[in-house]
Structure 1
Amino acid sequence: MSATGQPGSSYHHGDLPAALVRATLEIVAECGVHGFSVAEAARRTGVSPAAPYRHFADRNTLLAAAADTIAHQLQAACREAAAAARRPEDRLAAVATAYVRSAARFQSCFDLLMDAELRSYRPELRESTRSLVDLQLPSALALAEPQSAVALLEALRCLSRGYAALLLDGSFGPPMEVCESVAERAGRAARSLASGYACQDQAKSH
């Protein structure tokens, strides 16, 4: 329910688990992970404080379900970006750019993906990282030998997460104001990194 007593945007209409996840994301976006409570999610969804526990064992289980939603949205954004690029290095750059843009869009909700504790509550969260690796692996293998391709993917993961973290903590300025420029810088850095690994392996082969 909203503050006025009317059903809010998360009112469940028969699908309480999904509504609770939506409410969780709303609260985390507004108050951060530490400001989230199951009781507030229940209030916004228009149900009793005990109702969420019929579907989610505890606070972290609900947060993990919300993190899974963010993970799927991130994967979709990265897949779409990669599909629009033609060359391997451009696909890798596009994924890095999409990753940083998504971090800016999710804001505090992105912290859910970085919370290692939540992965123990929802194994699917571990798969989300693997899915991004699988998405980029063909492009990396097109540029470098297998061992170098694995190292490239590890470096790209660190690069994308690093830019995202620095963007969200305000190191570059107000996140939404600088989002596009930072995302583009991440993409350029990823492209340079990919090209460097490709050149390195080409030099070894001669």
Structure 2
Amino acid sequence: MPATGAAGGPYHHGDLPAALIRATLEIVAECGVHGFSVAEAARRTQVSPAAPYRHFPDRSALLAAAALTIARELHATCEEAVAAADRPEDRLAAFVSSYVRSAARHRSCFALLMDADLRTCHPELKESTRALIDLQLPSALALAEPQTAVALLEALRCLARGYAALLLDGVFGAPPSVCDSVAARATRAARNLASGYVT
């Protein structure tokens, strides 16, 4: 017999962590990271205020789990974009474009990936960043010697995060309406950057 949440709605116990993560992403999207509370996530999933703590020890752990969900989606999206390009510089540019588009799509939730406190307390978030670097590494090595390739990856990371941050800050206008133009700018910048590192 299914368990019953605080508001009387049934839920399958095995799905509660996933439901809490979905609720967390909804709250962060609406209220930002600072507006998130475990109590509100519990209310939205119709469980008691104590129920989330059976799966996540604290607020930070639930936010980190939500951040990992975004990180996995980001990796999958970037991986698909990279696979669709042929030349190394085009693959790197496609990665940057996909990163910027993901930032526009997730908006407030994307900030979870850059939250310094979460990254310090949850090493798995740093590992997700490493996975993104590994996705770009073969293309960078195809263009340059290892030491230069590392410098290229550092520059590309700054470029991608910079465009994403400026987009989310509204520097270019409302994120949904300017996503295509900003992604195009980022793509050109990444391609130009990569061409300068060719050995």
Regarding TM over 0.5, the answer is yes
Q: CA deviation at 1:57?
A: 0.9
Supply the AA of the counterpart residue of 2:108: S
> What pairs up with 1:43-192 in 2 under 5 angstroms?
43-192=43-192
Partner of 1:57, secondary structure, is coil
Supply the AA of the counterpart residue of 1:188: R
Q: What is the rounded CA distance, in whole Å, between the counterparts of 1:6 and 1:101 in structure 2?
A: 39
Corresponding residue number in structure 1 for 2:4:
none
Supply the AA of the counterpart residue of 2:128: S
Are the counterparts in 2 of residues 12 and 19 from structure 1 also a CA contact under 8 Å? no
Quote the RMSD (CA, aligned, Å). 1.3
Partner of 2:62, secondary structure, is helix
Are the counterparts in 2 of residues 65 and 122 from structure 1 also a CA contact under 8 Å? no
Q: CA deviation at 1:146?
A: 1.0
Supply the AA of the counterpart residue of 1:26: E
- 1:6 and 1:95, CA in 2 relative to 1: closer, same or farther beyond 3 A? farther
Q: What is the rounded CA distance, in whole Å, between the counterparts of 1:142 and 1:6 in structure 2?
A: 58
Q: What is the rounded CA distance, in whole Å, between the counterparts of 1:133 and 1:144 in structure 2?
A: 15
Corresponding residue number in structure 1 for 2:27:
27
Partner of 1:182, secondary structure, is helix
Corresponding residue number in structure 2 for 1:13:
12
Give CA-to-partner distance per residue, 1:22-63, whole Å, 9 cap, x none. 000000001100110000000000001111111111111100
Are the counterparts in 2 of residues 20 and 52 from structure 1 also a CA contact under 8 Å? yes
Q: CA deviation at 1:123?
A: 2.1
Supply the AA of the counterpart residue of 2:48: S
Q: What is the rounded CA distance, in whole Å, between the counterparts of 2:11 and 2:8 in structure 1?
A: 13
Are the counterparts in 2 of residues 81 and 91 from structure 1 also a CA contact under 8 Å? yes
Q: What is the rounded CA distance, in whole Å, between the counterparts of 1:120 and 1:128 in structure 2?
A: 13
Partner of 2:196, secondary structure, is helix
Give CA-to-partner distance per residue, 1:85-138, whole Å, 9 cap, x none. 000000000000000000000100001000121123432211111111111111
**Mind listing any 5+ residue stretches in structure 2 that lack a counterpart?**
1-6
How much identity, in percent, do the aligned residues show? 77
Segment drifting more, 139-148 vs 159-168 = 139-148
